[in-house]
Amino acid sequence: MAFEDINVGLPAPKPLRLAGAALFLDLDGTLAPIASRPQDVRPEPRRTRLIERLSAALDGRLAVVSGRTLADLDRILEGRVTAVAAVHGLVRREPDGVTSEVAPHPGLVDAAARLRDFAIRDSGLIVEEKGLSVALHYRLARAQGGAARSLADEIAAATGLVVQHGDMVEELRTPGPTKGDSVRAFMSQPPFKGATPLFVGDDATDEHGFEAARQAGGVGVLVGPPRDSAARYRLAGVDAVLDWLEAAL
């Protein structure tokens, strides 16, 4: 993905001012360190307290926008966040608690079977089925990365599923709303409407969120190593994100 006004040497964001702001936060690699196995990410007291305090200070203008399932996000965040976009935007729980989701693509059944067959070759390969998508994690089997990417592209071409190349993961998802679409949907309604959005995320899938925030007069904050991005600012990692957020309270 290329952007016209790229600056890979992004500066750190200015101190966060919560008045008039709306926060959109990714989870893995942003609020929580990336684990070798997705199920290893668990609730953490510092993160839970921070989310509670931020939501209160923002009068509810806080949403988590993640590739994880809604159930997984509620488990990790201990149910502290109402506004959530899960599975990259295919599932959305509104600020009033009403949840909506798209219908699963019929090609997911075949995709999951092919990824499971592929995963047999290495015990470090993990297939994660999310209902509306299926992901192949190879963080514990990095030598399989090239083959995993090729297989995901092949399945996407054959089924019409959307392929997302992530950080040591290949995911095939039902076509539909993105993280950016979720930001736009939240921003169209209270309590987000009229606020300035800030989207904080680390992965390529977060670029849609950065762009949506920019279009609404806000900014994106990239987390992790420098790379081409639509974000305007960058923080080095999860600890830097938590420190930056806590300093606003």
Q: In what order do the strands lie in the sheet with 162-166?
A: 126-129, 133-137, 169-173, 162-166
Tell me the angle at which helices 207-215 and 179-187 cross, rounded to the nearest 10 degrees: 30
Nearest one of 182, 195, 183, 245 to 21, comparing CA atoms: 195
As a whole number of angstroms, the distance between CA 41 and CA 34 comes to 8
**Maximum alpha-carbon separation in the chain:** 52
Q: Do strands 219-223 and 233-235 pair parallel, antiparallel, or not at all (unpaired)?
A: parallel
CA-based nearest residue to 83, from 214, 180, 198, 189: 189
* N residues, the chain: 249
User: Strand locations in 67-140, DSSP E?
Assistant: 84-86, 91-93, 99-101, 126-129, 133-137
201: DSSP letter: E
Residue 206 is a catalytic residue: no
Catalytic option among 26, 181, 202, 203? 26
Q: Would you name the residues annotated as active-site residues? A: 26
